Structures are given as structure tokens and as C-alpha cells.
Structure 1
Amino acid sequence: MSLGQKIGRLRQERGLTLQEVSEGSGLTPSFLSRLERDKVNISVANLRKLAQFFSVQMTHFFEGEDNQQVGQMMRTSERIRLSLDEAPVQVFALLPPNSDLEARLIEARPGSGQQSFSSRGSQMVLVLEGVLNFTLGDEEYALNTGDTLFYRDDVPNSWVNTGTTIAHVLTISVLSGREDR
């Protein structure tokens, strides 16, 4: 896979538009489009801007898929933030892209929460620390530290941190029917 294709794939995996990457990296949308189609080359300085925007090491763009080790480790400092810096709910990816699993660490301030509706597959929620009120359709669950909830991710769901401290939550999704595979 070419450098441009890797950049394009990373952008698409994150659900970002060329305009959003442009605004975050300082590179023009037209340049990014040509880069993804391998029509232009990129300087080290501009590649560094993209690496910083995507929160990856520059070597990420050069790692070959054929020579990967059996195991892949992601250090705390390498976690990809999937939320805005000042958002009340911080979400971090815990696994590399293109996995059959999606694992996220969520840090939620008291009173904050999220709503979701998708049909990605099945999901497990483990409250590492804190208290959550979790709603699945018409059902409500009070989750405390150490509690686990498992459900099919094809019903509307939402949760809120009802505690007085930051809640730390691990979510793991088994992805079904990935279209990009």
C-alpha cells in the first residue's frame, strides 16, 4: 500500500473529511486529495503535520502490513484520541486500526454521557471506576465499578456518569460485516 493510500485509509477509518484533515493539519484539501491519489509527494515537514494531526508516529505511514510482528503493542502515549481535547467525554482507541475488535477507553466527567445507535455488532462495557446509568432501548441499568454489560449494538443506547468522580470505562465491540475488509 502506498503512502497516499495509507493516509487516505487512516482518514476514512477515523470518519474524517478532507476538509477536516485540512483544518487540523494546515494542508489544503486539494493537496490532500492529490496525496491520497499518489499524484504528489509530501515533504517531511508536512508528513510530520499529518502525523501530529492523526496522533501517530511518523513511522506509522511506513510500516508494512506484510512484516508485522505476531503481537502488536500500543503504549499509553500512542493511544489515539477520538474526541476533542476539552470534551467532557474523552475517548481513546486501544487497538490498531483494521482489527476485528474495537476497544476504547472512555473517561467521562460527572454528569456527562453519550448517545449511540449503530449496527456494528456486539458490545461489552466494563466500568473500571465510577458509576454509570446505561439505557438500552426501554431498559435501564445501574452500573458500578467492576460491573459488565453485554448487548447487541443494534438498539438505541445512551449512558451518563451519575457519580461524583470521573468514570473510567472499557468498551469492546466485536465488529460484524465490516465493509472495508
Structure 2
Amino acid sequence: MPRDKAKPEPNLGAAIRKRRKQMQMTLQMLCDKSGVSMGYLSQVERGNATPSLGTLAQIADGLDVALEYFIAAPKPSDGLTRGNERTQFALANSSLTYESLAATFPGAELSSYLLHVPPGYESETVSHEGEEMVFVLEGEIEQTLDGQKFRMSAGDCLHYSGQLPHAWANRTDTTARILWTGTLAVLNRAGAIELPELIKKA
């Protein structure tokens, strides 16, 4: 009877580097935030040094994730969220509400949210690294991308580079619901640090 193959050990250095780049942090920035020397951090990222649990906790704190982000082996069920169990939250002084969909595990690159967009809402124009995809589930939004305006209704989808200036608005009198997915680490999905601007809603 063939023996089961052992699961490969996660590449800790690569996971740290990927998370750092997701957060658009330089090695020096992570050094300053974690209190770990830049030379040692460089060794860890290249796989030439293995940090102690205490040092890894410092690095995790500097990357705004819990220690478990790097040491816990995710189960398939960890990526499952139930529609009636997800908590909605909003940024302070904003009428837009979110539901987080993406799981958090070493090497994860996607952020994904359900957005509930009230009538009259209009976002600021932004640009950044990475890419985004917007899929309209209900209602209608107006997406502006690099100066062009697209009126999108249920079933419409737009995939674009985050480097292009973009914004969106709900110019109707009904709430829109959209699925947003991107490679930008928008919020602290791991929940290691309670962001003061977040207001959780039941």
C-alpha cells in the first residue's frame, strides 16, 4: 500500500515577503514597525534564517496579522462563510457597508467584499497597485475608470488595473449590492488589530 506523501512545509520567508509587498511596505518599514533588524529580516525572507516564535510574533505584528497567520495550517472549512452569519461593518461616518468574504492564510493575495451601496453614495477617485474586479449583484452603479464612465446593472462585471484612476457611485434611489474582489490588502482581514475607524454592525 503506497504511503501518503507528506504535505510540504510552508515557505515562511516567502509568506512574510508576500504579505509585506501586499501592504506596500519596504524592508526598512517592516524593520521599523516590528523592531527586528533589517539584516535579520532579509535573512528570514530569503530562507536563510528561521525566527524564534517571539521574533515571528514581532514580524506578524508589524504586518498587521496574528501569529497564527504564519503557523496555523488552514482547513478547507476556514474559507467558508455563511450568508446569514457574516458581520456587516462600515467605516466611520460612511453610509457604505461591507461583508468580508476572503479567507486569510499565508500567501493569500485576494481581498473580497460584498458592498451595500446606498442611494447617492459616491466614492473618491483612487489609484494603486494591483487589480480589481467589480460584479453588480443588485441595483445599478456608475463606474468611472480612467475618465470613462460605465453604467453597470445586475450581471455586469468590470475587471481593471488598480493603477488606472477609478471611482464609482450609486445615482439611483435604491441600494445597490456589488461583489468587489482585488489583490490590494484593503483591510486587516486577519483581525489581529482592531482598526479604530471600523464600526461593526449586527
Q: Aligned residue for 1:30?
A: 39
Q: Give the letter aligned to residue 103 of structure 1.
A: S
Instruction: Tell me the distance in 1 between the aligned counterparts of 2:80 and 2:62.
Output: 18
Q: Pick from 51, 64, 67: which aligns with 2:60?
A: 51
Alpha carbons of structure 1 residues 114 and 102: separation in structure 2 relative to 1, 3 Å: farther
Q: Is 1:103 the counterpart of 2:111 in the alignment?
A: yes
Q: Pick from 88, 110, 116: which aligns with 2:127?
A: 116
Q: Give the letter aligned to residue 36 of structure 1.
A: E
Alpha carbons of structure 1 residues 16 and 74: separation in structure 2 relative to 1, 3 Å: farther
Q: Give the letter aligned to residue 69 of structure 1.
A: K
**Is the Cα–Cα contact under 8 Å of residues 117 and 153 in structure 1 kept in the other structure?**
no
**Is the Cα–Cα contact under 8 Å of residues 116 and 158 in structure 1 kept in the other structure?**
yes
Alpha carbons of structure 1 residues 103 and 119: separation in structure 2 relative to 1, 3 Å: closer
Q: Is 1:159 the counterpart of 2:175 in the alignment?
A: no
Q: Which ranges in structure 2 are unaligned for 5 or more consecutive residues?
A: 1-9, 82-90, 184-202
Question: C-alpha displacement at 1:25, in angstroms?
Answer: 1.5
Q: Tell me the TM-score normalised to structure 1 length.
A: 0.54
3-state SS of 2:79 partner = coil
Identity of aligned residues (%): 17
**Is the Cα–Cα contact under 8 Å of residues 123 and 172 in structure 1 kept in the other structure?**
yes
Instruction: Tell me the distance in 2 between the aligned counterparts of 1:74 and 1:135.
Output: 32
Q: Give the letter aligned to residue 33 of structure 1.
A: S
Q: Deviations over 1:117-160 (max 9, x none)?
A: 7784x7124599xx97531244324679xx67521315934115
Q: Aligned residue for 2:144?
A: 135
Instruction: Tell me the distance in 1 between the aligned counterparts of 2:141 and 2:35.
Output: 39
RCO (CA 8 Å, sep 6+): is it higher in 1 or 2? 2
Q: CA RMSD in A?
A: 4.7
Q: Give the letter aligned to residue 124 of structure 1.
A: V
